[in-house]
Amino acid sequence: MTVFFRVIKYAFQDMGRNLGLSFMTVFILILMLLSVNALWSVEILMGEAVRIVKEQINVSLYFVPEAKEKDIKEIKNYLLAFPEVTDAQVSTAEDALKSFQERHKMRAEVMEALTELGENPFGPTLIIKAKEPEDYKKIMEALNVPEYETLIEAKSFEGHEEAVERLQNITSRIEKIGMGLTIMFAIISFLIIFYTVRAAIFTQRIEISIKRLVGASNWFIRGPYLVEAFVFSLCSLIVVIGLIFTALRWIDPYLTVVFSDGFSLTNYYFSHILLLFGSQFAVVLFLTVVSSSIAMRKQLKV
């Protein structure tokens, strides 16, 4: 225990002697972690946006008024047999009429024309949902069956595939930019830590030689620098966690306007806090330990 506490003591002494470089190392690590979390947050938001748009996509099959219930049920069961189809709901002719009246209640001429008809001109509607937007093409092709053509009056693909594609393109570009920033900060962090440890070892070469003369082991000499790597990683992560949750508290009210289902980035980060920040700490610690080890190996010749 005495040796362990001495290693910690020497580590903090080294950080105090190189306070400027220590601060710069932590600052660069913070920038790297912020870029990672910014990229992560954008991916989460884009994924949620794509999910919402996908939920709004459907195919509507409008049947002729004379279509019988058993025929509609047959088509529904036929489509539900496809693994791509997640749901199929039948809307009756009466429901279609009520929906039409609700949409055009402010247009007197439309309502008068509907009254003059004296009967419901609408037939039942089958609303189909699939797993992915590209699945709807297969569904539409599957309906090109002669016996169904006399029953189906029209097909409406209420799709937003262009919006989904645009969102995915934006997400891909942001991922590339974010990945580039993360790699850049990682390289800068590696170099700063490397030269910080190298400078510290060079300035303390006399102390290190004395430690060797009195029988200090290689790990005792290396220990303070490894402790510094741990402290750098921990400090940068603590600061980043504080900054992220402060930013999320400011961002979340705006997200509730965009995502009507109550999606919250704060709740997402809280529910995945161990995975998100645990993995980040492990990566940063690995980066700092590796860069410190390389610098020590080069300078200590051990």
CB 189 within 8 A of CB 32: yes
CA 190 to CA 22: how far, in whole Å? 13
Q: Return the DSSP state at 87.
A: E
Q: Which residues contact 135 (CB under 8 A, 6 or more apart)?
A: 84, 85
Beta bridge partners of 61: 126, 155
- The domains found in the chain, sorted by start residue, are 2-52+164-300 (no CATH), 58-159 (3.30.70.3040)
pLDDT tens digits along 191-213:
776 676 666 666 666 666 666 66
State the pLDDT at residue 215: 64
Separation of alpha carbons 289 and 237, rounded Å:
15
Q: What is the reported pLDDT for 111? A: 74
Res 206: pLDDT? 62
pLDDT of residue 160: 57
Residue 140 burial by Cβ neighbours in a 10 Å radius (0-12, 13-18, 19+)? middle
Alpha helix stretches (DSSP H) within 204-264: 205-213, 218-258
**CA 100/CA 10 separation, integer angstroms:** 79
What is the structure's pLDDT at 238? 92
Query: Residue 236: CB partners within 8 Å, gap ≥ 6?
Result: 26, 29, 30, 33, 284
Which segments of the chain have a pLDDT < 70?
1-5, 7, 10-11, 18, 100, 104, 110, 114, 117-118, 157-165, 167-168, 171, 175, 178, 182, 189, 193-194, 196-221, 260-261, 295-302
Query: Long-range contacts made by residues 43-50, C-beta under 8 angstroms, separation at least 24?
Result: 43/171, 43/174, 43/175, 44/265, 44/268, 45/255, 45/265, 46/167, 46/168, 46/170, 46/171, 46/174, 47/171, 48/259, 48/263, 49/167, 49/258, 49/259, 50/164, 50/167, 50/168, 50/171
Condensed to tens digits (0 to 9), the pLDDT of residues 267-292 reads 888 888 888 888 888 888 887 777 77
| The pLDDT value given to residue 302 | 47
